[in-house]
Amino acid sequence: MTDFERAAAALRGELLAHSYRMLGSWHEAEDAVQETYLRGWRAWTGFEERSSVRTWLHRIATNVCLNAARDRGRRALPSGIGAPADDVDGPPDPLPPQAWIEPFPGDRADLRLALIAAMQTLPPTQRAVLLLREVLAYSAADVAEIMDMSVGAVKSSLQRARARLADVDVQPDDIVEPHSPQARRLLDAYITAFQTANVDALTAALRADATLELLPDRAWFAGVARCSPVFATAVGRPGDWRMDRMVVNGQPAVAAYLHGQPFGIAALDVRHDGIAGVTVFADPALVRRITVGLPPRRAGQDAAGPVQPDGTWPIRMRCG
C-alpha cells in the first residue's frame, strides 16, 4: 500500500459522510469520494504538506461536491417540497431519482434525515462552510484555505447559514437513540403490525402528529387520521411482509420485503412518546446494497472490483 492509499483509507468514512451531507445522496457521495481519491492520487507527488493530508483531501472533496451540487437542483424529502396531501387516494406523482434524498446506512446521529434535508436548503457554498466549521470543526482560517475565500467571507457565510437554519428544528430534544429499549420497542411494534397486518397496532404506536413520506412519491401525509388509511392499504395480509431491523441515518429502520422480494427501506423518527414519522424509500436496489454492505449504484450500473470485509472498496481499485 502506498503512502497515499494509507492516508486516504484512514479518512474514507469521514470523507464519505461529508460528501453525503453536501449532496444528500449515498451514490453521489460514493462517486465524490472516488473522484477525490482519483484527484488526490494524481496530485500526491506534488503535495508539499503545507497543510495536513486531512485538510488537503477535504479541500478536494468539498470542491468535487460543490461542482456536483451546482450542476443540479437540490435534493429534498416530500415534506420539504409542498404541503401534506389531503387525498389519500390521489394518483401517484413520483419525483425523479435525482430529486430526493437517499438514506445512508449507519448510526451516526449527525446524519439524521431531517438534518440532511435542512442542509440541502442552503446554497452550496453556505452548506460547505457550515459543515466544515460546525461538523468537522475546522477553524475559520482553515475553511478559508479550503474554500479559497477570505476569513471574513467565511464568517459571513456561516452567519447566513445559521440564520437560515435557525427556525428549523432538526434535532428535537425528545429524539430517542436508535439502540435504546424505547426505540427497539417501537420498532418491534412497527414490524409486528406489518407482519400481522394489524393496522390498529401500528396506529397505536404513532404520535397524533405523525407524518408519513413514501418516496419516490411527492405526496406525504400528516397526522394519524391521514396516515392510517395509507398504512391500512399497505399492510395487506398477514405474512405478506418480512422486515429486517437495521439503522440508517442514525434512526431505527427496516429493510422491507414484500412477498419475499426486496421492497425498500423504512426509517423511523422515534421519540419518547411514539413514532413521530416514517420515511419509506421504495427502492429494491437500496435493500440489496445496504443489506450486503455494498455502495449504491445507479440503475443499470454494475459494481466492479472486490469488496473488503468491512464493506469498503480497496483504495487501489478505486484510484488506479
Q: Which domains does the chain have, with CATH numbers?
A: 3-165 (1.20.140.160), 181-292 (3.10.450.50)
Query: Do 250 and 108 contact (CB within 8 A), yes or no?
Result: yes
What angle separates helix 224-235 from helix 181-195, to the nearest 10 degrees? 50
DSSP-H helix ranges across the chain: 3-10, 12-23, 26-43, 53-70, 113-120, 124-130, 140-147, 151-165, 181-195, 199-205, 224-235, 284-292, 315-319
> What's the chain's Rg over C-alpha atoms?
21
Instruction: Supply the pLDDT for residue 89.
Output: 83
Max Cα–Cα distance, the chain, nearest Å: 64
What's residue 181's pLDDT?
95
The residues of the chain scoring below 70 in pLDDT are: 169-171, 293-320
- In degrees, rounded to 5, the angle at the alpha carbon of residue 265 between the alpha carbons of residues 253 and 244 is 60
Output the pLDDT for position 301. Answer: 42
To the nearest 10 degrees (0 to 180), the angle between helices 26-43 and 12-23 is: 130
* Per-residue model confidence as pLDDT tens digits over 273-312: 999 999 999 999 999 888 776 555 554 343 333 233 333 3
Q: Among 144, 97, 101, which Cα is nearest to 120's?
A: 101
Q: Answer yes or no: are the C-beta atoms of 59 and 145 closer than 8 Å.
A: yes
How much is the pLDDT for 295?
A: 54
pLDDT confidence of residue 55: 93
Question: Letter for the amino acid at 6?
Answer: R
Percent of the chain with pLDDT over 70: 90
**Long-range pairs for 218-222 at CB < 8 Å and ≥24 separation?**
218/78, 218/81, 218/82, 218/93, 218/94, 218/95, 219/78, 219/85, 219/90, 219/93, 220/77, 220/78, 220/79, 220/84, 220/85, 221/84, 221/85, 221/88, 222/84
Amino acid making up residue 91: P
Strand pairing category for 241-248 and 251-258: antiparallel
User: How far apart (Å, rounded) are the C-alpha atoms in residues 77 and 129?
Assistant: 23
pLDDT of residue 317: 26
pLDDT at residue 200, rounded to an integer: 94
4-33: pLDDT as tens digits: 888 899 999 999 999 999 999 999 999 999
Nearest one of 51, 152, 47, 168 to 116, comparing CA atoms: 168
Please tell me the predicted confidence (pLDDT) of residue 167: 72
